Structure 1
Amino acid sequence: MTKKSYPAVFMRGGGASGLFYLADDLPTDAAELDKILISAIGSPDRYGVQLDGLGKGTTSSSKSVIVSKSKSKDYDIEYLFAQISVENPSVDWTRSCGNLASAAALFAVEEGLVDDVKNDKAKFRMHQVNRDELIEATVDLNEGLVRLAFYKSKMKEHMRVNFDPTIKVSVEGIGKIDVSVIDATNLVAFVRARDLDTKIDGVTNFLELKDKAEKIRVAVAKALNIQGGTTNPRILLVEAPRDFRDRSNRIVAKNQVDIIVFALSTHEIHAGLPMTAVMAASVAAGIEGTIVEKESSWKDQTKPIRVGHPSGVDGARPISLSDNETAVEIVLDARRLMSGLVHVNV
């Protein structure tokens, strides 16, 4: 085993955190790169705490981002996102992270990769390489705020995956169940929480719920020939607006949300909600016939949809640019937590 050190920055973006690297500081060999990222974050850890690295034992913090100037005239910056398994020595390069997109934008500006910065503000185009997406970023260095617009072309192909907004799938041990599959930022499948006899503040048997969700994921992937291993599509559970208690035991009132969505993490309900899930919900709410559209109370589509989740409420606003292109806009805060060298065993 060899000990090596690499320049890295530890950053938070929205409700997630991770290690950020300049592409020029890392090797290009895929296997070697995976080993570096896995060791730095502290995986694998069968106890789920990542004590030997900079992860925090959750999917929200077991992440890395690699940033560089873009060689394409269509973008200013490009970046790769890595979702690192907590318990296994593996890296998922197929996904995106909306929260850390904000930190990627701030990192790019702070590292001098963005040329046009005026009055501590910058506007530029990022290429999210994993999903081949355009993200337009506006960074305010004084406020620490990042406005992001995620663009997706050919809306009918990508957002609805070329089938009905809601389909029925046969699931082992459950029977037929309604599912809405949306490909917006990440591929997700929305399911009514009540169809699994659960609710956001009333999960009594997490392992049983996780098992049901995995059976649904497998059934959907098989029915629609979806590729991508054990992560696609991600199951998101949906409820109509109601009063509920968040993870801090605060009451989130029915009139504060337009829809309730929650996800499952490794050992428990996801502490918040991935921003990619918030954005997918905003897109789904605007498509007639999806589960989200049917359960949502969202009426004024000129304003962001308010998505209730275990940590409170987040918003996202889909913007229809044309029949073939759409964007989802969010605003997040981000900040640099630490800069230095990360020491790894590879």
Structure 2
Amino acid sequence: MVAHTKFAPQIKIPATYMRGGTSKGVFFRLEDLPPEAQEPGAARDNLLLRVIGSPDPYAKHTDGMGGATSSTSKTVILSRSDKADHDVDYLFGQVAIDKPFIDWSGNCGNLTAAVGSFAISNGLVDASQIPENGICTVRIWQANIEKTIVARVPITDGEVQETGDFELDGVTFPAAEVQVEFMDPAADDGEGAGAMFPTGNVVDTFNVPGLGDLEATFINAGIPTIFVNAEAIGYNGTELQGAINEDPQALQMFESLRAHGAVKMGLIDDVAEAANRQHTPKIAFVAPPQDYMASSGKQIHATDIDVLVRAMSMGKLHHAMMGTAAVAIAAAAAVPGTLVNLAAGAGDRTSVRFGHPSGTLQVGAEAKQVNGEWTVTKAIMSRSARVLMEGWVRVPGDCF
């Protein structure tokens, strides 16, 4: 007779599965989490890892809510904000797929588009602020990077309007447009110097073993990002995911580049530390416009875009573009002399349309010089968001 072993039963936690921009993730209200997971720490991380299904040596997330890509291995915790002039606090966790690790060092710009919608629908925004019909302005405190983001969410008959005809390359179906404004997106080093450009320069040269000296633009806007020229690393800027993600040597090269760039940016002291900081910084490569076929089969013409950009996320080429990296692109394009600005044809610009693997995206930024230092006051883009499923997630009661 087989001995009966008693295991802890599953518990259920209120949750919403949402798409925001070209990402999707599991959204929670802070108050709905088990008490042990309402504070940062091991219990919270272990719970969210189990929700997503990480670490998964099979890289499938079969036993969790994750989608086994950087765009779909995400968690969000929201609560009413106690900060003046803010409605909701937004905390983002990027969950590693193959290791027991959650990176809390940055934001997800795509999921930001879903934060306002969730907050309105889940009682985190005062009813007096929600019009019967029109636009509800939700002021978000992004807790990871301590920045303000404003989401403008369409409302119909007092409810969030999710359906619409706004099309976003990288997303299969149209939906309602949500405008997202990233206020003062540049990093603040606390000393007012070199905040957006951590080295104080719009272009630097740095050495990467195996690649030699490379030109790069290091920028802290939206998310810390390293821009290099595609040609300098052997690419043309029209690559799709397979060209890089199926090439182990390329992935290793990009990670080395990212690690050495992170040291140059002052984010880490030694390249070995980069392994525990997968979400930031991002590494991206740029090139002047040229024709290419997007991953959907859509033909993109050089005349459709100002610049080509490809970006790595969590060690792989992103299928479209991270929202935070799009902020970095907008900011860099607005500052004369950066590699992004030069690839886009140089000069002054307040918006840029860039080509990514799934298509194109237009982003805008307002840049100015203050005491000789460049800063960006606002970056704007349009996204869409939609609830995919709501109810409860279930996890073993002893997993955290």
User: Normalized against structure 2, the TM-score is what?
Assistant: 0.81
Three-state SS of the structure 2 residue aligned to 1:9 is: strand
Q: Is 1:330 the equivalent of 2:381?
A: yes
Whole-Å separation in 2 of the counterparts to 1:8 and 1:293:
41
Does structure 2 conserve the Cα–Cα contact (< 8 Å) formed by 1:19 and 1:65? Answer: yes
Change (3 A) 1:322 1:193: closer
Taking the TM superposition and a 5 Å limit, the aligned residue runs for 1:163-312 are 163-199=200-236, 200-201=238-239, 203=243, 206-227=247-268, 229-231=276-278, 232-265=280-313, 268-297=316-345, 301-302=349-350, 304-312=351-359
Query: What residue in structure 2 maps to residue 62 of structure 1?
Result: 73
Alpha-carbon distance change, 265 to 97 in structure 1, aligned in 2, over 3 angstroms: closer
CA contact (8 A) 2:331 2:376 kept: no
2:3 aligns with none
C-alpha separation between the residues in 1 aligned to 2:54 and 2:182?
30
Contact 1:258 1:298 in 2 (8 A): no
Offset at 1:268? Answer: 4.8
Alignment equivalent of 2:22, drawn from 7, 11, 15: 15
Q: Deviations over 1:92-120 (max 9, x none)?
A: 00111111001011100111211110024
For structure 1, the residue ranges without an aligned partner over 5 or more in a row are none
Unaligned runs of 5+ in 2: 1-6, 155-159, 165-175, 269-273
- Structure 2: distance between partners of 1:117 and 1:272: 32
Q: SS in structure 2 opposite 1:315?
A: strand
CA contact (8 A) 2:202 2:338 kept: yes
* Paired letter, 1:341: W
Q: 1:42 to 1:171 in 2, by over 3 A?
A: same
Where does residue 391 of structure 2 map in the other structure? 340
Q: What's the counterpart of residue 123 of structure 1? A: 137
Cα deviation digits, residues 173-208 of structure 1 (max 9, x gap): 111011111101110100111111123337366222
- 1:145 alignment partner AA: E
- The equivalent residue for 1:112 is 123
Give the count of matched residue pairs.
345
Deviations 1:15-41 (A, max 9, x none): 000000001011324211111111111
Q: What is the match of residue 182 of structure 2? A: 150
Cα distance, 1:48 vs structure 2:
1.4
Alignment of 1:61-100 (within 5 A): 61-100=72-111
Letter in 2 for 1:319: E
- Deviation, structure 1 residue 156: 6.1
Mapped to 1, the partners of 2:298 and 2:342 lie a distance apart of 27
Say if 1:218 and 1:269 are closer, same or farther in 2 by CA, change over 3 A: closer
TM-score normalised according to structure 1 size: 0.93
Distance 1:265 1:93 in 2: 14
Counterparts of 2:358 and 2:84 in 1: how far apart (Å)? 39
Identify if the C-alpha distance between structure 1 residues 321 and 103 changes in structure 2 by more than 3 Å, giving closer, same or farther. Answer: farther
Amino acid at match of 1:193: A
Counterpart-to-counterpart distance in 1, 2:365 and 2:314: 29
Aligned to 1:5: 12
Residue 322 of structure 1 and its aligned partner are, at CA, apart by: 8.2
Q: d(CA) in 1 for partners of 2:364 and 2:202?
A: 19
- Bigger-Rg structure (1/2): 2
In structure 1, the residue corresponding to 2:277 is in which secondary structure? helix
Cα distance per residue 1:148-168 (max 9 Å; x no partner): 111126686432124211111
Q: Identical aligned pairs, as a percentage?
A: 30
